[in-house]
Amino acid sequence: IEGGIYSHYGLAEGIKHTLSLHPSASLLENVELLLNIDGVSLSVSSKSCLWPIMCSVADIPNSVPFIVGCYHGYSKPNSVDEYLSELIPELEELLENGLIINGRTLRISLKAFVCDAPARAFLLGIKSHTGYSCCGKCKVRGEYIKGRVSLRGVLHEPRTNDDFRRKKDSTHNISDTPLVKLPLDMVVQFPFEYMHLVCLGVTRKLIILWIRGHLECRITPSTMKHVSASLKALAGFIPCEFARRPRALEEIDRWKATELRQFLLYTGPVVLSSVLDKKYFQHFLLLHVSLRLLVGAKTCAQSQLRSYAGALLKRFVRFFGDLYGDEQYSYNVHGLLHLVDDSATFGSLDNVSAFQFENYFHRMKGFISQGNLPLQQLSRRLHEMKENGTLGGRSSVREAQATGTYVLTDEHTDGPVFLPPSAQFRKATFSGFTLASKTYNNVCIISGSVVQVQNIVKDNDGCNMVIGQKFENKRSLYEFPCSSTKMDVYAVSGLSDTMQWPLESVACKCVLLPLKQNSFAVLPLIHSNEFPDNEDL
């Protein structure tokens, strides 16, 4: 195609291959798809880039995405019509007629396109995220303040699918898109993606403002060193679900999205509480609490909590200019206002985040050596992996996770027990987390108690049990904007005598971070789409 080369591997073939790897897929009657499109640079010294089209089956938990097609060039594709010319007809056929597998016709539906702001603007033919009429969700009009386009205010008229298809706003819809051929809601089914918008966008922006912003909000060099030391001291307390450990603030330009997510959802409230000015810390907590509510699958499913998160985000956005200047009302800060609507439609923000796609493609990118013909290299690797059965392959542990069970591993004989058990184990791998007797992977919530696991046993009646100690003292970690105990976030201390509980009663795994005076912060692990965290993100 114009500007580069495109290879199409097939949407239907990818769906069939993915379903063949999952025994539970035989029960599906409808297959719901997530499509992701993004640009990936191949080298810091070259403009060479790939633009993959990726897909995942939303109905299968923890399923590995697959590549539908990929473009290689030295800039983004020149024409969205050419770029999507093979995807659109295949997608139209699948949406209309379904997919026949083993004599059964499966209905195919499209859940959403998951894209960052530049890719979304390219696909939809709308104003880029630096323009005056850039928001795809509402009709906010930007103002030019101190050299930047600022999107002020929290109440704006929403955009609609009908408005988009009629191109009623010529300052927003600046070119045609072939996606209008599909039965899509051009507003709702293009959610704001929180990996880019919140983690790489707003969270990084806050940290940079604290260390490089104007004098009123900037922390002192000694405070920055103190926070950095606190972050690095937490490295040994981070559970196995995180591939990366906290780094110093001085390295913020190299922080990956998973590190920023870790800071926002887990470590930030611990390391900032005693050093950041109260108004800035409380402002940060508005974002922390609202995102924990919208990322958590159970909390975002409750309309009351979802509405509360929306109110907190409006408050966060409203006061952003007061604290940091009106010129800081960027596209990402404004976009926070629309996350609640996306959560109401799609559930947890993780359901429509780019983390799973970025994880997968960065692994694929590792198979491409430096040099010529990267697209041909990628095509060969994909073919080889499909032939040898490693493309999208799953272990028995991952299959157990997908079906909602757990797997016991690392059998041993030297743990604490009440009665001689039939077997002892060091690990229980659930869907989304691994509970272990090893320190910092051994904290969970059972029947409202925060428990430190010492052993996992199968008793002589065949029941799997957790042996451990519970923390006797629980209090809130913070009281603003609400008591943290409402989200099972605590400051804990004092361990009980050894007790035991049924393994099935484990509600969630927790992150345990040290505070002062032999106390700890406890925050439930809420992000759920780990494979685990990819070190490239």
Phi, psi of 269 (to 5 degrees): -60, -25
- Of 119 and 439, which is predicted with more confidence? 119
In the chain, the percentage of residues whose pLDDT exceeds 90 is 81
Is residue 330 located within the same domain as residue 382?
A: no
Q: Where are the beta strands (DSSP E) in 38-84?
A: 40-41, 49-57, 66-73
Is residue 94 located within the same domain as residue 226?
A: no
Is residue 337 located within the same domain as residue 199?
A: yes
Q: For residue 89, is the peptide bond before it cis, meaning its omega torsion is within 30 degrees of 0?
A: no
Q: What is the CATH number of the domain that holds 466?
A: 2.30.30
Is 492 within 8 Å of 449 (Cβ atoms)? Answer: no
pLDDT, average across residues 173-201: 97
Is residue 76 located within the same domain as residue 103?
A: yes
What confidence category does residue 395 fall into, taking pLDDT thresholds of 50, 70 and 90? very low
- What's the pLDDT at 275? 95
Q: Average pLDDT, whole number, for the chain?
A: 92
In the chain, the percentage of residues whose pLDDT exceeds 70 is 95
Q: Is the pLDDT of residue 373 over 80?
A: yes
Q: Does residue 268 fall inside a structural domain?
A: yes
Is residue 107 located within the same domain as residue 20?
A: yes
Spatial CB neighbours of 246, under 8 Å, sequence gap ≥ 6? 231, 232, 234, 235, 238, 259, 262, 263, 267
Q: Is the pLDDT of residue 158 over 50?
A: yes
Structure tokens at 148: 């930047």
- What's the pLDDT at 362? 84
Q: Is the pLDDT of residue 127 over 50?
A: yes
Is residue 375 located within the same domain as residue 461?
A: no
pLDDT, average across residues 215-230: 97
Is residue 376 located within the same domain as residue 414?
A: no
What confidence category does residue 15 fall into, taking pLDDT thresholds of 50, 70 and 90? very high
Q: Does residue 180 fall inside a structural domain?
A: no
- What's the pLDDT at 530? 37
pLDDT, average across residues 193-198: 97
Q: Is the pLDDT of residue 387 over 60?
A: yes
Q: Does residue 187 fall inside a structural domain?
A: no
pLDDT, average across residues 52-81: 93
Residue 404 backbone zone (phi > 0: left; psi -120 to 50: alpha; other: beta)? left
Continuous H helices in 277-410: 278-295, 297-300, 303-324, 331-335, 339-346, 355-365, 374-387, 396-402
Distance CA 69, CA 410 (A): 40
Structural domain that includes position 372 = 4-115+358-393
By mean pLDDT, which of 128-142, 187-201, 391-405, 415-429 is the weakest? 391-405
pTM of the model: 0.94
By mean pLDDT, which of 31-35, 49-53, 514-518, 532-536 is the weakest? 532-536
Is residue 208 located within the same domain as residue 286?
A: yes
Is residue 93 located within the same domain as residue 51?
A: yes
| Cα dist from 52 to 72, 79, 109, 306, 359, whole Å | 9, 15, 21, 33, 13
Q: Does residue 518 fall inside a structural domain?
A: yes
Q: Is the pLDDT of residue 142 over 90?
A: yes
By mean pLDDT, which of 81-95, 328-342, 393-407, 480-494 is the weakest? 393-407
* pLDDT tens, position by position, 247-293: 999 999 999 999 999 999 999 999 999 999 999 999 999 999 999 99
- Of 410 and 25, which is predicted with more confidence? 410
Phi, psi of 479 (to 5 degrees): -110, -10
Q: Is the pLDDT of residue 534 over 90?
A: no
Q: Is the pLDDT of residue 401 over 70?
A: no
Domain count, the chain: 3
Is residue 17 located within the same domain as residue 84?
A: yes
Is residue 302 located within the same domain as residue 418?
A: no
- What's the pLDDT at 367? 79
Q: Is the pLDDT of residue 531 over 70?
A: no
- What's the pLDDT at 393? 54
Q: Does residue 465 fall inside a structural domain?
A: yes
What confidence category does residue 22 fall into, taking pLDDT thresholds of 50, 70 and 90? confident
Q: Does residue 142 fall inside a structural domain?
A: no
